[in-house]
Amino acid sequence: MQSLEAVLAERAVAMGADIRRGSRVEHFEASKDGVVVQAGGERLSALWLVGCDGGRSAVRKAGGFAFVGTDPEFTGYSVDVVLADPEALSPGRNYTATGMYTYARPGVIAMVDFDGGAAHRTQALTLDHVQSVLRRVSGADVTLAALSLATTWTDRAFQATDYRRGRVLLAGDAAHIHSPLGGQGLNLGLGDALNLGWKLAAVIRGEATIDLLDSYGVERRPEGARILDWSRAQVALMRPTPSTRALEAIVRDLIATGDGATYFAEKVWNLSLHYDLGGGHPLVGRSVPDFAFASGPSVGVRLREGRALLLDFAPGAPLAALVAPWLGRLSYVAGEPEDRLGLSAVLVRPDGFVAWASDEDG
């Protein structure tokens, strides 16, 4: 995570961004023409304000965004400890009569205590407290010799009912929170940024009307809701009940099948993401394949420019003439890819999703 943040920050600075760390938003006033923000003792004016300030977002609260969802069932713990007897716990994931824990030697432990989230941010994370919870969850008479790191989290799952109110928008954890199970929060936030970034840029440059920003919430909010439900389903498989263990066994059997494994892999890695952009072609609304060309960079490399792409796999066709008036707003790529996948042309949005596609026989 730290290395990714460093790469993104370096890229942002190279593009002219002014990053001010530790400058908390204290207040803002939004009008139909812009936003005035009081942050870090400064008064800043901007056309738009995007709240990306985490699950306890000050922007979301001050902006009056409704935040709804489900309360936690457990307190989760991530700890790094020294065990007096490393053999007292079983390595890997272990379900118990009171919860669940995973153990990676020598002392990295994650555990969930189904206490309704009561201990999250209310209990001092002392050695005695962590040891007491570990004993209760694991059912083992384990003794901690030292505690070097401890943090808590919950399965609270909430989402903003709107991602935009006038000149103020939300993205990332400010728009949705859920448990870290499965590690999908990072991808969800990056997906928000990719979707909103090019749309906001197009509006600011005068290439699109403000209405384009409404499509941000239309496209991204259902994806956030899906991830929240996915995290709730994971919690349902962790509850310490006999019926849950029976349900988990069925899910494991499904994952062991080819179709089941494919389904879960696509969901976890977000390969099945599809925006409803209309049109009848099955590729529209999906991430563009990374077409490789014998000469010139691949599609993935070209998308780094942050512009839409028109891929013309049949150079000399009428597309070349039709696209001429739009060359200032998109990149025209003509050439034969190594595998055109039965396509003759593809229009790709700046975020890498297909807006239009035509088959060779179309």
Tell me, what CATH number does 86's domain have? 3.30.70.2450
Question: Does residue 315 belong to any structural domain of this protein?
Answer: yes
**pLDDT tens across 150-176, in order?**
999 999 999 999 999 999 999 999 999
Does residue 338 have a pLDDT over 70?
A: yes
DSSP secondary structure code for residue 287 in this structure:
B
Tell me, what CATH number does 325's domain have? 3.40.30.120
- Among candidates 173, 170, 197, which has minimal Cα distance to 51? 170
Q: What is the mean pLDDT of the chain?
A: 93
Burial readout 318-335 (b: 16 or more C-beta within 10 A, e: otherwise): ebeeebeeeeeebbbbbe
Does residue 183 have a pLDDT over 90?
A: no
pLDDT for position 321: 66
Q: pTM for the complete prediction? A: 0.91
- Among candidates 261, 197, 185, 168, which has minimal Cα distance to 223? 185
Question: Does residue 177 belong to any structural domain of this protein?
Answer: no
pLDDT for position 63: 96
pLDDT for position 316: 65
**pLDDT tens across 264-289, in order?**
998 888 888 999 998 789 999 999 99
Domain C-terminal end among 126, 154, 182: 154
Does residue 327 have a pLDDT over 80?
A: no
Domain C-terminal end among 154, 178, 210: 154
Distance CA 307, CA 173 (A): 26
How many CA within 13 A on the CB side of residue 2? 0
Question: Does residue 47 belong to any structural domain of this protein?
Answer: no
Record the tokens describing residue 157, joined without a space: 């799952």
Does residue 181 have a pLDDT over 90?
A: no
Distance CA 343, CA 313 (A): 7
What is the count of structural domains for the chain?
2
pLDDT for position 270: 82
Mean predicted confidence (pLDDT) in 58-74: 97
What count of residues does the chain have? 362
Give residue 175's region: left, alpha or beta (phi > 0; psi -120 to 50): alpha
Question: Does residue 12 belong to any structural domain of this protein?
Answer: no
Does residue 320 have a pLDDT over 80?
A: no
Question: Does residue 227 belong to any structural domain of this protein?
Answer: no
Does residue 343 have a pLDDT over 70?
A: yes
DSSP string for 205-235: TTSS-GGGGHHHHHHHHHHHHHHHHHHHHHH
Residue type for 153, please? W
Distance CA 101, CA 76 (A): 9
pLDDT for position 302: 95
Percent of residues in the chain assigned helix, strand, coil, to nearest 5: 35, 25, 40
Question: Does residue 141 belong to any structural domain of this protein?
Answer: yes
Q: Is the peptide bond before 106 cis (omega within 30 degrees of 0)?
A: yes
* Bridge partner list, 252: none
Spatial neighbors of 70 by CB under 8 A, at least 6 apart, are: 156, 157, 158, 232
pLDDT for position 244: 95
Distance CA 41, CA 22 (A): 11
Question: Does residue 64 belong to any structural domain of this protein?
Answer: no
pLDDT for position 360: 79
Record the tokens describing residue 66, joined without a space: 């409704």
**pLDDT tens across 207-247, in order?**
999 999 999 999 999 999 999 999 999 999 999 999 999 99
Question: Does residue 29 belong to any structural domain of this protein?
Answer: no
Range of the structural domain that residue 98 is part of: 75-154
**pLDDT tens across 32-47, in order?**
999 999 998 899 999 9
Domain C-terminal end among 154, 183, 218: 154
